[in-house]
Amino acid sequence: MGLIVQKYGGTSVGTIERILRVADRIIANKEEGHDMVIILSAMGKSTDVLVDMAKEITPYPSEREMDMLLSTGEQVSIALLSMALHQKGYDAISLTGWQAGITTEAIHSRARIKEIDPTRIRAELSRGRVVIVAGFQGISDEGEITTLGRGGSDTSAVTLAASLKADRCEIFTDVSGVYTADPRVVPAARKLDRISYDEMLELANLGAGVLHPRSVEAAKKYKVKLVVRSSFTSEEGTFVEEAPQMETGRVVSGVAHDEEVAKITVVGMPAKVGTLSRLFNTLADHQVNVDIIIQSSYDADVTNISFTVASGDLKHALDTLAKNREMLGFDKIDHEEGLTKVSIVGAGMVNNPGVAAEMFRVLAEQQITIKMVSTSDIKVSCVIPADLTDLAVRSLHTAYGLDVEQTAVVHGL
């Protein structure tokens, strides 16, 4: 017996039938004697529907009102699951993020969790109830409803598991675990039995949608026992843990891709000490996250600086630069959309020279132009044209020996 935290994604609770199936899974764990805390995403594509409704009114809705709107999606799913458990004879209670004691930064649409007061959850567990918490949301010290950004329900689950000192945290999704590539793109992708926190964090940051990056950071920091599983089968999932036993010869663990990439080039920046600091501090002060950075000088006094941002941040980044042009002192701004970042990740890359060279060779053979490159000890990323994404991912997956004969199954499509 123990305390289990489970998170179910939108696909897992996309219909009433699926909600009832989730209820049966929870009941099976409850019958084994476990205390259960459940975190839910909004049903199916309901968040997208809410976003589309807002954009019918205005293309640039207030972030505060968007948080107010989007937080309702999870409230629907938690209430329905609680009703399902009641109907099946089990006591349950649904709680919003703020009722569950989740306090966040005072930032709308992408807040970080500051602290969790688990008093209410523990009290409800002591009454024998299944506690169902709305993921993706919390409340600021000023009493404002906030959301954690897309995928934030994973972060809600892991941080709650850490706060409650849960025996394990299970993330249920539409695939059976963590794969060597997105099985929607690479049907020959292989499910990993185990993966390290560091590898998983790189994959998540580089576009693998199975886990939110901040949830992996929290799992590593608080040593949460994390498992990724499918809500559609009873198959064993993937364990995310510290320094797992690596497979012999597994240099590359996976191929990830992020199709939401835009490139900005600031042309004619003064080539002086402090130029980079002013540029990127200005962007950071306006909540613009920058990824790959390349600096190129064409004379002694002037330099060009290129960097990537998420496609959704492009307009905000361009507006921020335009408003600060006089202070930054650049000549003009160029930008490019329609890009993808393709990456290989593996802890075994540290001691194996030539891994990056192989990636460049494979992409060159497929006539794929590499626009930018970024490396670390366990990953290599290339920015390429978005229309060549599938070709690049499949070619790299094959080249590094990751293909298997069995076709990966994605449920709930």
High-pLDDT (> 70) share of the chain, %: 96
Cβ atoms 121, 164 nearer than 8 A: yes
Give the Cα separation of 225 and 312 in Å (integer). 33
Q: Is 174 annotated as a binding residue?
A: yes
Cβ atoms 406, 393 nearer than 8 A: no
How far does CA 200 lie from the centroid of its chain? 11
**DSSP assignments along 256-322, one per residue:** EEEEEEEEEEEEEEE-STTHHHHHHHHHHHTT-----EEEEESSSSEEEEEEEEEGGGHHHHHHHHH
Give the Cα separation of 116 and 35 in Å (integer). 19
Amino acid 248: pLDDT: 46
Q: Is 7 annotated as a binding residue?
A: yes
Return the CATH class of domain 2-243: alpha beta
At residue 272's C-alpha, the angle toward residues 266 and 275, to 5°, is 45
Q: Is the pLDDT assigned to residue 310 strictly greater than 70?
A: yes
Amino acid 412: pLDDT: 57
Q: Is 47 annotated as a binding residue?
A: yes
Q: Is 412 annotated as a binding residue?
A: no
Phi, psi at 401, each rounded to 5°: 70, 35
Q: Is 184 annotated as a binding residue?
A: yes
- Dihedral of the alpha carbons of 124, 128, 134, 135, in degrees to the nearest 10: 100
Contacts of 381 (CB under 8 A, 6+ apart): 206, 292, 341, 342, 343, 373, 374, 375
Cβ atoms 96, 71 nearer than 8 A: yes
Q: Is 180 annotated as a binding residue?
A: no
Residue 11's SS3 state is: coil
What are the residue ranges spanned by the domains of the chain?
2-243, 255-400
Q: Is 138 annotated as a binding residue?
A: no
- Determine the topology of domain 255-400 in CATH: VC0802-like (3.30.2130)
Mean pLDDT of 53-68: 95
Q: What is the per-residue pLDDT across 337-379, written as a single tens digit (0 to 9) for each?
A: 999 999 999 987 877 888 999 999 999 999 999 999 999 888 9
Q: What is the per-residue pLDDT across 195-226, written as a single tens digit (0 to 9) for each?
A: 999 999 999 888 888 898 899 999 999 999 99
Q: Could you tell me the pTM of the whole model?
A: 0.83
Amino acid 209: pLDDT: 81
Q: Is the pLDDT assigned to residue 410 strictly greater than 90?
A: no
Pairing of strands 226-230, 238-241: antiparallel
Q: Is 209 annotated as a binding residue?
A: no
